[in-house]
Structures are given as structure tokens and as C-alpha cells.
């Protein structure tokens, strides 16, 4: 599918007389990261990895930082290079599936997903399918028809593989897709796949998001709306930075 890669910004006056930037983007599909974009599972993730770090004698804060935004087995390999990685990963996944306290839907996520045609969006997550399904159901979010999770990839973010595969399962070129991410590794994955990237401020600051290559920076999904047209999707971003 051929789409217009150009975004069209305009300036609209707010009720307080201030100006906010509105940008319209033509694309084929939206590719969403999960944690930090659609849901917030930070408390549960921190609890599981803190316990794991203490059990193995590591600095919990260092482990938690390393675990965010990538497959759990990658963190295990980093800290326990000589361990049984599959067994350790299975145990971490079991704990994460059981610990669902504090998982919430992030602003605008449900409205945005339910407004999109089912064949025009997917989720690209570093969680396993089993874990991702549990968290999405707890957050009362729809499951995509086809999606990419840790079970589907060999090289996780920031490698381009996750977003290349996501575009492929939907049947579009990555350059015709827009990625929605919250961390630099995910942004780099999307950009290296040749997609455009919307970054959300839920996890990191503007400077790091911009340095990673984000095309647009927003607060959350409440600043994104979408409608279908004959060429695909028109995405409208408000309060763009």
C-alpha cells in the first residue's frame, strides 16, 4: 500500500488563548508497544524483579532498570550468564502472571484501540504471549488479531526485528506504519525498521526520547485519535512536541 509519509501540522488556539500543535499523519497501521504505552504494570514488574534480584544477590534497582522494555530472558542472560536460562525465565514469567496488582490502563488506550479497524493495528511486546494476554485482559483492553511477543522474536528491541515482523503480519511495509513507544530501545527498534515513531512520556524524558529518534513526543494515547479512509488511517496528534 502506498501512503503519504508527510505529516501536516497546524496551530489551533486553546480556550486559554494558547496555541497547541495538531499534526495529521497518513499511514497504513499503528504498531503499539504494550507496557508504558497501553498499560502500566510498573509496580508488578518491580516487585517480581526485586525479589529475583535479592534471591540472586544482585542490586535490585540495577536489575529493575535493565529489565524494562526487553524480554525477561535477556535480563536473566545478562546477570546469570551460566544459569539455566529457560528455567529461570519460566519462573520469572510464572511470578509475573500471578502478580497483577496495580496494573492499570493508561489514558486514552482503550478509546484509541477500539476506534481502530482490527486489521490496522497490532501490539509488539517484549512480554511472552501468556503474560501479555493476562495483563491486557486485566486492563480490559482488546487483544489484536495478530501480534508479536517475546515468543516470536530472536532479537529483541532495539533490534528492528520486532517491528519488521509486526508490519509483516499486518501485510504492510514498515515505512507505511507508525510505531507508538515509550523507551529509547523501542524507538530505535521502530526507526531502524524504517517506521515513523510516536514517543510517549510515560517512562522517559523528552531529551532521551528525541535522541533515540522519536518523530513526535506526546503525553499519552489520549493525545492520539484515528479514522479510517480509503488509503488507510489518518492519525491526529494533539499537543505535539
Which one from 35, 40, 176, 215 is the annotated catalytic residue? 35
Paired residues of 235 in beta bridges: 25, 226
Q: What angle do CA 168, 153, 180 make, to 5 degrees?
A: 60
Rounded-to-integer distance, Cα 90 and Cα 92, Å: 6
Q: What SS3 class is residue 156?
A: coil
Torsion of CA 160, 103, 50, 162, to 10 degrees: -10
Could you tell me which of 94, 83, 49 has the C-alpha nearest to residue 69?
A: 49
Angular region, 232: left φ>0, alpha ψ -120 to 50, beta rest: left
- Render 207-221 in DSSP notation, one character per residue: HHHHHHT-SEEESSG
33 is catalytic: yes
Contact criterion met (CB below 8 Å) for 73 and 85: yes
Q: What SS3 class is residue 32?
A: strand
Known catalytic residues are 33, 35
Amino acid at each position: 500500500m502506498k501512503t503519504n509519509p508527510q505529516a501536516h501540522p497546524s496551530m489551533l488556539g486553546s480556550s486559554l488563548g494558547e496555541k497547541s500543535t495538531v499534526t495529521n499523519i497518513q499511514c497504513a497501521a499503528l504498531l503499539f508497544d504494550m507496557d508504558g504505552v497501553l498499560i502500566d504494570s510498573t509496580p508488578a514488574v518491580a516487585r517480581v524483579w526485586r525479589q529475583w534480584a535479592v534471591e540472586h544477590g544482585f542490586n535490585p534497582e540495577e536489575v529493575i532498570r535493565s529489565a524494562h522494555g526487553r524480554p525477561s530472558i535477556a535480563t536473566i542472560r545478562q546477570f546469570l550468564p551460566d544459569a539455566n536460562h529457560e528455567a529461570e525465565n519460566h519462573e520469572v514469567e510464572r511470578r509475573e502472571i500471578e502478580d497483577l496488582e496495580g496494573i492499570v490502563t493508561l489514558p486514552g488506550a482503550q478509546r484509541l484501540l477500539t476506534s481502530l479497524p482490527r486489521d490496522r493495528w497490532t501490539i509488539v511486546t517484549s512480554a511472552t504471549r501468556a503474560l501479555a494476554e493476562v495483563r491486557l485482559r486485566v486492563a480490559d483492553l482488546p487483544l489484536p488479531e495478530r501480534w508479536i511477543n517475546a515468543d516470536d522474536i530472536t532479537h529483541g528491541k532495539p533490534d528492528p526485528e520486532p517491528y519488521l515482523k509486526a508490519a509483516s503480519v499486518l501485510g504492510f511495509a514498515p515505512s507505511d506504519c507508525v510505531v507508538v513507544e515509550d523507551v529509547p530501545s523501542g524507538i530505535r527498534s521502530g526507526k531502524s525498521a524504517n517506521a515513523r515513531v510516536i514517543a510517549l512520556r510515560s517512562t522517559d524524558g523528552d531529551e532521551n526520547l528525541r535522541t533515540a529518534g522519536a518523530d513526535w513526543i506526546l503525553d499519552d494515547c489520549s493525545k492520539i485519535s484515528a479514522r479510517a479512509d480509503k488509503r488507510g488511517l489518518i492519525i491526529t496528534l494533539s499537543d505535539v512536541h
